[in-house]
Amino acid sequence: MNRQFYILAALAGLLIILFYALGKSNQKPRYDWNESGSQQSVYSESNTQPYGSKVFHQILDNYFPNETLTDIKGNIAQTLPQKETLTNGNYVFIGAGLYLDSMDTQSLLHFVNNGNTALIISKTIPFDLMNLIYYDECTEHEGWDDYEQYFDSSATMRLLAPDSIQSNQVKYAVQNRTQPYRWSYIPSYVFCMEQQPFPVGYLEKDSMVNFAVFPHGKGRFLLHTTPLNFSNMNLLRADAQPYTEGVLSYLEEGPIWWDGFSRVSEQLTRHRNNRRSGGDELPEEHLLSFILQKEALAWAWYILLGLALLYLVFRTLRKQRAIPVLPKNENSSYEFIKTISNLHFKSGNFKGISIQAMKLFLASIREKYGLVASIDPATNQIYRMDEDYYRKLAHRSGIDEQQIRVMFTQYETIARFEPTEQHAVDFYMSMEGFWKKANGR
């Protein structure tokens, strides 16, 4: 009963989890309005959702008709060309955060140093890269300290050039409803009169730079802090396209390498930057959050939990303590008879041997067959046997009744008279024959 209950409870729990997952998937909205940057698919070139970048990718693919666009599918160090003869190439990245290891960073720096352009559109940027392209800091500020942010529901962006391009207003929306948003911008301390980095685009006020040029060697880095402007939802607006064309006008006419491989969440990049600067702030996202946000991974997670639960239930029901193997029962009383008999036989006390042997023999009969023999009080050594006793002992032991009578007659002779060695031996052989036949059945 308990076993069936546990099995039914486990199956019911698994069904509840599956129905819950199905319900959540059925309730999934038509569009995914997640712009948290926790998934690599956000701002992905294959993402057709509001905050994907498929439209931007198509624009770049056709921007230079005689040039090619290459999607980077691996590490930059293994993909981005390093030929010094290439001087008009473009590296383009868009995402909430950018992840580059040391080899990727050096490859990108070498690519730009040869005379190429790197357009990086992100809400934050790796310290390892910025510390190498912004190394002549202003005297009033010590080093790079990431993009700054302010909180608002919309932002108006404009470019210094071309002058003909009007400002572009960008809003952050969820389910087509405007929501407050953290807008990133480059700190003003970066732009000193005597230094090379210079702004080319602003947010709201001239003090909030969201698009700037950082020269490096023969090339330059174009840093833009508002990937939201290049999302599918924004680029489908006709009034947003001129601003995007103005940003792309800073690219060199040449081949384009689109980096979708290095895209990570904003939180991961900021956490890595914080570690580089000596902080101990923990990331705001966890691995389980990433898993549950991906439908396929969420299904795999729920199924794994259900299977683990079923395994524990069935293992509990089937796993039992091992039953020890008990040794075979032996007639220890009979063994004791033989030991005592040997001692008396060596001393020549044949009568004592026989009397002790008969006591132990009858004790074994009482234990094994439940038959009790009474002692004659007149003799105190001779047992009183009746016909019923002989019949029952023969029936339960399977020994011929006549053989049993002979054995008890031999004992009575030994108990009444002084026996010889032969009498004791004959009596012993009778008991030995009885047990051999009885135990052999």
Closest CA to 244 of 109, 56, 404: 56
Q: pLDDT tens, 380-389?
A: 567 777 888 8
Same domain, 124 and 208: yes
Q: pLDDT tens, 119-167?
A: 999 999 998 898 888 876 665 666 677 889 988 888 888 888 776 677 8
Same domain, 239 and 149: yes
Paired tokens of 210:
């969201």
Strand locations in 22-124, DSSP E?
69-72, 90-94, 97-98, 117-121
Out of 244, 269, 284, a domain closes at 284
Same domain, 247 and 143: yes
Same domain, 103 and 226: yes
CA-based R_g, the chain, Å: 48
pLDDT, residue 344, reads 61
Q: Is residue 313 part of a domain?
A: no
Is the pLDDT assigned to residue 105 strictly greater than 70?
yes
Q: Is residue 327 part of a domain?
A: no
pLDDT, residue 37, reads 46
Is the pLDDT assigned to residue 115 strictly greater than 90?
yes
Q: Is residue 391 part of a domain?
A: yes
Q: Read off the pLDDT of each residue in 224-238 and give the average, rounded to a whole number.
A: 90
Mean pLDDT for all residues in the chain: 81
- Helix, strand, or coil here: 251? coil
Range with lowest mean pLDDT among 194-208, 339-353, 405-419:
339-353
Q: Is residue 16 part of a domain?
A: no
Same domain, 392 and 266: no
Same domain, 357 and 215: no
Out of 268, 284, 300, a domain closes at 284
Q: Is residue 408 part of a domain?
A: yes
What distance in Å separates the CA atoms of residue 304 and residue 301, rounded to the nearest whole number? 5
Within the chain, what is the greatest distance between any pair of CA atoms? Answer: 144
Looking at the chain, the whole-number percentage of residues with pLDDT higher than 70 is 76
What distance in Å separates the CA atoms of residue 1 and residue 101, rounded to the nearest whole number? 59
Q: Is residue 344 part of a domain?
A: yes
Same domain, 253 and 384: no
Same domain, 276 and 367: no
**Confidence band for 176, pLDDT divided at 50, 70 and 90:** confident
Q: Read off the pLDDT of each residue in 246-265 and give the average, rounded to a whole number.
A: 92
What distance in Å separates the CA atoms of residue 121 and residue 159, rounded to the nearest whole number? 15
Tell me, what DSSP letter sits at residue 240? Answer: G
pLDDT, residue 282, reads 41
Range of the domain at 401: 333-439
Same domain, 241 and 154: yes
Out of 284, 312, 341, a domain closes at 284
Q: Is residue 183 part of a domain?
A: yes
Same domain, 167 and 266: yes
Are 69 and 240 contacting, i.e. CB atoms less than 8 angstroms apart? no
- Helix, strand, or coil here: 236? coil
What distance in Å separates the CA atoms of residue 212 and residue 202, rounded to the nearest whole number? 9
| The overall pTM is greater than 0.75 | no
CATH code at 105? 3.40.50
Q: Is residue 124 part of a domain?
A: yes
Same domain, 364 and 252: no
Same domain, 242 and 376: no
What distance in Å separates the CA atoms of residue 431 and residue 338, rounded to the nearest whole number? 11
What distance in Å separates the CA atoms of residue 363 and residue 229, rounded to the nearest whole number? 103
Tally of domains in the chain: 2
